[in-house]
């Protein structure tokens, strides 16, 4: 029995990574030759990891050589040294772009959230690691800004910043929400959740009828993408109230920016740069596409539909999804897959890095 199980395991493995070849002999006997090959490895891609398609948890183990570690640590130290005494970071104002001293500019929530998320990305938190004090100060700064602006349209009174001009008037709330979502996952507290709810409310009020965030900057499509993904993440927190209609409208706006038939994206809201529009479409459709994939995979496991069935509108309806929702899932899946491939095209990078990109 053990031998049979071993052969079954080998055969199953070979089906995935190689082949079994049988050759006949004149005396009628057969010789089995086991020919194996390595399963193809998916090439690491920065875009795919940022979009959540490739895991990054193990990257540090085989890519973190001495030279890279030194560069990363140098960047971390500079980032920490650029933090202001109030716990925030600033990128300066659009009207005074010549000022390069990080301590000569006023802190703003958007830049602070972005810098704090960079440190979080390296595994540091507000409660552990060498930069827990800096992250705690950044969190306190953001919470103070949000709480002090509870009844205003924005989470900060600091206006005219470079990041607001580039991404939009509401980018502070969008990025602060993303950072607070990460904090709430590891170190939840009522104060943090209250701040999340304030950001959610402000973002929802900022949407227009098309699902786009008002007050767009130079590349407003990215502001809408950041806001949308922030709401998607906040929705997973049972203590936060998120308007599903707003999320649906935001998803539809992001999907409308990409045409799966022609594999092109609208660049009007992306500063004319294809990469911005494409990345926004991928991010905007990722959550809904993942929902569809999970439901479809579960339906296959339960025998509701064939193992080889393709995810499309008709098959989604066959597993019990409403006609309207099936259509939405179908479009999200197509946009996500097509835009993801398009993002790898060299032509998409044209213009990136120019004009402030």
How sure is the predictor about 183, in pLDDT bands with cuts at 50, 70 and 90?
very high
pTM score, whole prediction: 0.66
What Rg value do the Cα atoms of the chain yield, rounded?
25
Same-domain pairing of 180 and 243: yes
Same-domain pairing of 317 and 218: no
Same-domain pairing of 317 and 178: no
User: From CA 79, how far away is CA 119, in angstroms rounded?
Assistant: 9
Domain finish residue from 256, 273, 289: 256
**What single string gives the DSSP state of each residue in 112-167?**
HHHHHHHHHHTT--SSSSTTHHHHHHHHHHHHHHHHHTTTSSSS-S--SBHHHHHH
Same-domain pairing of 240 and 115: yes
pLDDT of residue 89: 97
Going from the C-alpha of 330 to that of each of 278, 315, 325, the distances in angstroms are 18, 10, 8
Domain count across the chain: 2
How sure is the predictor about 93, in pLDDT bands with cuts at 50, 70 and 90?
confident
How sure is the predictor about 222, in pLDDT bands with cuts at 50, 70 and 90?
confident
Domain finish residue from 220, 238, 256: 256
Going from the C-alpha of 96 to that of each of 37, 90, 110, 169, 277, the distances in angstroms are 59, 13, 18, 18, 28
pLDDT of residue 174: 93
Q: Strand pairing of 30-36 and 18-24?
A: antiparallel
pLDDT(329) > 90: no
Q: Between vectors from CA 59 to CA 54 and to CA 61, what angle results, nearest 5°? A: 155
Owning domain of residue 115: 104-256
pLDDT(153) > 70: yes
Residue 45 has what DSSP assignment?
Answer: -
202 occurs within a structural domain: yes
Same-domain pairing of 286 and 231: no
> Which position has the higher pLDDT, 277 or 74?
74
Torsion sign (Cα): 193, 195, 198, 202: negative
- Chain-centroid distance of CA 131 in Å reads 24
Q: Which residues contact 301 (CB under 8 A, 6 or more apart)?
A: none
Same-domain pairing of 176 and 225: yes
Judge contact between 309 and 302, C-beta under 8 A: no
284 occurs within a structural domain: yes
Same-domain pairing of 118 and 200: yes
pLDDT(354) > 50: no
131 occurs within a structural domain: yes
pLDDT, average across residues 148-158: 91
Same-domain pairing of 219 and 127: yes
78 occurs within a structural domain: no
Lowest mean pLDDT among 26-40, 114-128, 247-261, 332-346: 26-40
314 occurs within a structural domain: yes
Q: What mean pLDDT, rounded, does the chain reach?
A: 76
Same-domain pairing of 183 and 323: no
Burial of 110 (0-12, 13-18, 19+ CB in 10 A): buried
227 occurs within a structural domain: yes
User: From CA 179, how far away is CA 229, in angstroms rounded?
Assistant: 12
pLDDT(112) > 50: yes
> Which position has the higher pLDDT, 159 or 212?
159
Lowest mean pLDDT among 4-8, 111-115, 343-347: 4-8
Same-domain pairing of 198 and 121: yes
Domain finish residue from 256, 287, 302: 256
Same-domain pairing of 325 and 271: yes
Same-domain pairing of 239 and 273: no
């Amino acid at each position: 029995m053990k031998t049979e199980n071993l052969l079954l395991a080998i055969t199953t493995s070979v089906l995935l990574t190689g082949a079994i070849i049988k050759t006949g002999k004149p005396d009628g006997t057969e010789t089995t030759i086991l020919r194996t090959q390595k399963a193809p490895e998916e090439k690491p891609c920065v875009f795919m990891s940022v979009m959540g398609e490739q895991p990054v948890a193990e990257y540090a183990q085989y890519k973190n050589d001495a030279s890279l570690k030194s560069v990363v640590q140098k960047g971390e130290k500079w980032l920490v040294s650029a933090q202001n005494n109030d716990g925030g970071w600033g990128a300066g104002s659009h009207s005074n772009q010549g000022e390069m001293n990080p301590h000569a500019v006023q802190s703003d929530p958007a830049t602070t959230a972005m810098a704090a998320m960079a440190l979080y990305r390296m595994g540091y938190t507000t409660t552990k690691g060498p930069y827990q004090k800096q992250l705690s100060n950044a969190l306190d700064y953001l919470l103070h800004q949000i709480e002090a602006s509870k009844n205003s349209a924005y989470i900060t009174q600091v206006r005219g910043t470079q990041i607001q001009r580039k991404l939009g008037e509401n980018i502070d709330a969008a990025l602060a929400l993303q950072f607070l979502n990460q904090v709430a996952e590891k170190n939840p507290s009522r104060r943090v959740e209250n701040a999340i709810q304030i950001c959610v409310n402000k973002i929802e009020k900022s949407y227009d009828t098309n699902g786009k965030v008002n007050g767009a900057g130079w590349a407003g499509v990215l502001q809408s993408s950041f806001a949308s993904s922030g709401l998607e993440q906040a929705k997973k927190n049972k203590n936060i109230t998120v308007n599903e209609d707003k999320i649906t409208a935001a998803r539809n706006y992001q999907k409308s920016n990409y045409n799966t038939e022609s594999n092109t994206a609208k660049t009007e809201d992306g500063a004319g740069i294809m990469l911005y529009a494409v990345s926004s479409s991928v991010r905007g459709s990722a959550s809904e596409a993942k929902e569809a994939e999970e439901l479809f995979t579960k339906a296959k496991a339960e025998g509701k539909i064939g193992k080889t069935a393709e995810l499309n509108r008709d098959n989604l309806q066959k597993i019990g999804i409403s006609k309207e929702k099936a259509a939405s899932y179908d479009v999200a899946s197509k946009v996500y897959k097509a835009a993801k491939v398009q993002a790898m095209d060299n032509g998409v990078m044209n213009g990136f890095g120019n004009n402030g990109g």
